[in-house]
Structure 1
Amino acid sequence: MNKTETYECLGGNDPLATKWITQKQYERLCVKPDEVTLAHLYYSPKAHKAGTPLRPIFSGLKHPTIKISKYLDELLRPLFDKIALKTTVTSGFEVIKQLHEWSTHNLHKDTLLCAIYVVDLYTMIPQTEGVLAIKKILSRFVLKNNYFSYEDQYYHQIRGVAMGSPLTLTIANCYMFFFQRNIVKQITNPGGIYVRYIDDIFIIINWPTQHLHKQIDLWNNIDSNIKLIAQVGHSSNFLDLYVENMNGHLFTKVYRKPSYEPYYLPFNSIHPLHMKKNIPFAMFLRAIRYCSTFKDFLDEREDLRMALLLNKY
């Protein structure tokens, strides 16, 4: 909790009891006082990373800001999705479509692939700049009033946004949208591709390796709150997609993190049948879309068959 200086310990001073959240704010949030509880902090392990670091999750289903947070997210997210349509992706399939179209005329044997990870994005966004990024005064209320209890102590989040709040994703996306504007121009003007999914960025461009590394170093100086960790080469992993430049030919297949375990919703569970049917359908559809060679598709199909058998399908 001390790593990013994100939280301020309030000791035993309950922010509700001391009226740090005013009655007027309660009324605007439409939450009954007897239903309000502070959020609780828990940790989700990042099993795919070295050392298994913990991701702090802000669980606040009855937190005072939850309703206004949901309302703002419903208003702002569609607007952001429309504005950032060209640089935002939600799946590996969207990346593949862009890559195949781009590679027809632009892929060379020296073309570089670059996957970039934004370190601790949610907790590193400055709250004031986060509000400015979405230009909505109500968002300041949501950002500035994230309280939770942990081990009999009360905490106030004074930096970043709470992972678990409905508005957090939209704020992070808006903040990154303004952060990346000049980077997008640098990549797309010479004919490259730049796409982002929350804190994962994928770039493909015909630049010398040294020049790309130099640019990434410069990008890391744009904002002291945003740290980029890049993987540059002729192959890269982005989301669940593996991409490789094989002497000027595009090669793709399904990617799984080293921590992957073949466990899915068991077929003998009490979930509706249509949910269980959709799992193999979606998995095989992804294999068809992602695998650029028949051999890789057959390998993926066999892996899926064994995984489904393991889960009683």
Structure 2
Amino acid sequence: IQVRPIVASINAPARQISSFLDQLLTPIYNYVTKDITFINSIDLIRKLKDYTEKDYLTSITLFVTFDVADLYTIIPRDGDIAALGRFCQKYSANGKIGNLKIDTIIKLASVVLDTNTFAYKNKYYRQIKGGAMSSPFTMILANTYILEWEQKLIQHQNRHHEIYGRYIDDVFMTTNLTKEELLQQLNETMKTDPNIKITITINQALEHLDASIENNNGQLETTIYHKSAWEPHILPYESDHSRHIHANIIYTMLVRAACLCSTVEDFDMERLSAEMILLVNGYPPKFIQKHMKNFFIQHDAMNVWTELDGETYEQLHTTLLYKPIRRENKSKVQTNGHLIQNRRNYKHKDQIYLHYTFENGPLLNFKKEYRRMWEKFYVYPS
């Protein structure tokens, strides 16, 4: 049986320091790596579509994925700290990040790592590889280490106009090398650091994140990938939420399908699947039809729903695919030298959402009846 340590850091002595370092360094890392980081599957499909439109996708193009095993717990403490120091030195201004000297940041990072301790059977233990799984600082620490390791791969991909992108510990690449040439390159990369172990998949059709991707004789085909363990559970219609929340679930399901499905036929299959999921979770057919219709009317694409029109669907697919997602709008990173500033954009400032269901029906008095029964049968007097 293989096991790995998972050390929690909630309420740990250095928790606040960990959060502070995360808030200080993560915006810089995100800005530096924005071109080699996948936010989600939609971001991946965008890059693949751009890659295809530039005629880099050929009939021999291979897709490559690999994941780094146990990313947070494999890296020795000294290697972590050294990589962090080089990262800070490279992206500092006058030897500082914000108002802190690099030496101060390294000392704070050492405090966080040195307090990753726990007790078991009257003995104290300290984690000496990686960081605590729940520590905010652990991700940026692992990311700066992996960033150094992957530099040669990134540079090779850039020289050959190929894609390289990482989502936490999952990497996706394109290549027009042979499978043997690529494996040789990846093996050479692995030799540079014995701590890093990767599992590689190479094919013209594979799954990455929640997207299924195929190179069909030089034509890119994509759709949604449903994992075998996935179950069709969403927010039930009977839940005590405002109806606009349930309506937004339908809208989000259709947007996701339109972004990830390259053909109108695959999109329609996902739409039908969404209908079944909604019905299973108690959504009334009239409610489903109303809000699906609103989606197609809003995007001027009714004939996609009624006629499976491929040309209109391509316009819908492209429009939604390149529309900025919420995460991109929420945190727009600006840099002035090395000063990083986060700005939040708030929509619908003139509206107030009351999170309560005001419709008629059995849920109207549910809270009152639930509390009455609780106090009558389960609560001791006084």
TM-score w.r.t. length of structure 1: 0.78
2:196 maps to which of 211, 222, 226: 226
CA deviation profile, 1:8-62 (whole Å, cap 9, x unmatched):
xxxxxxxxxxxxxxxxxxxxxxxxxxxxxxxxxxxxxxxxxxxxxxxx3x33321
1:84 equivalent in alignment to 2:33: yes
- CA distance in structure 1 between the aligned counterparts of 2:256 and 2:146, rounded to whole angstroms: 28
Which has the larger share of helix?
Answer: 2
Q: Aligned to 1:237, what secondary structure does the other structure show?
A: strand
What amino acid is aligned across from residue 84 of structure 2 in structure 1? I
Does the Cα contact within 8 Å between 1:172 and 1:198 map onto a contact in 2?
no
Structure 1: tracts of 5 or more residues without a match? 7-55
Say what the alpha-carbon RMSD is for the aligned residues: 1.9
Q: CA distance change for structure 1 residues 100 and 157 in 2, over 3 Å: closer, same or farther?
A: same
Deviation of 1:275 after TM superposition, in Å, equals 4.2
Give the letter aligned to residue 69 of structure 1: S
Identify the match of residue 166 of structure 2 among 196, 200, 206.
196
2:78 & 2:247 partners in 1: Cα distance?
46
- Write out per-residue CA displacement over residues 95-114 of structure 1, whole angstroms, 9 at most, x where no aligned residue: 11111111121111110000
* Whole-angstrom CA distance in 2 between matches of 1:172 and 1:83: 15
Alpha carbons 2:9, 2:116 under 8 Å: kept: no
| Deviation of the 1:279 alpha carbon | 2.7
**Distance in 1 between residues matched to 2:123 and 2:252, nearest whole Å:** 44
Counterpart position of 2:129 = 159
Taking the aligned partners of 1:215 and 1:61, their CA distance within structure 2 comes to 41
Give the secondary-structure state (helix, strand or coil) at the position aligned to 1:86: coil
Q: Which has the higher strand share?
A: 1
1:68 aligned partner: 17
Matched, 1:96 2:50: no
Higher Cα Rg, which structure: 2
Structure 1: which amino acid aligns with 2:223?
K
The 1:271/1:250 distance shift into structure 2, 3 A limit, reads same
What is the CA-CA distance between 1:170 and the residue it aligns to? 1.2
Residue 75 of structure 2 corresponds to: 125
Q: In 2 relative to 1, CA 278–153 (structure 1 residues): closer, same or farther, beyond 3 Å?
A: farther
The residue identity in structure 2 corresponding to 1:258 is S
Helix, strand or coil at the partner of 1:167: helix
**Could you say if the C-alpha distance between residues 148 and 206 of structure 1 is closer, same or farther in structure 2, counting changes exceeding 3 Å?**
same
Same amino acid, percent of matched pairs: 35
State the alpha-carbon separation in 2 of the partners of residues 198 and 167 from structure 1.
Answer: 14
Cα distance change of structure 1 residues 293 and 131 upon mapping to structure 2, 3 Å threshold: same
State the match for 2:143 in structure 1.
173
Q: Does residue 291 of structure 1 match 2:261?
A: yes
Q: Which residue in 2 is equivalent to 1:187?
A: 157
Map 1:203-218 → 2, pairs under 5 A: 203-218=173-188
| Distance across 2 between alignment mates of 1:212 and 1:272 | 52
- Is the contact between residue 60 and residue 66 of structure 1 (CA under 8 Å) also seen in structure 2? yes
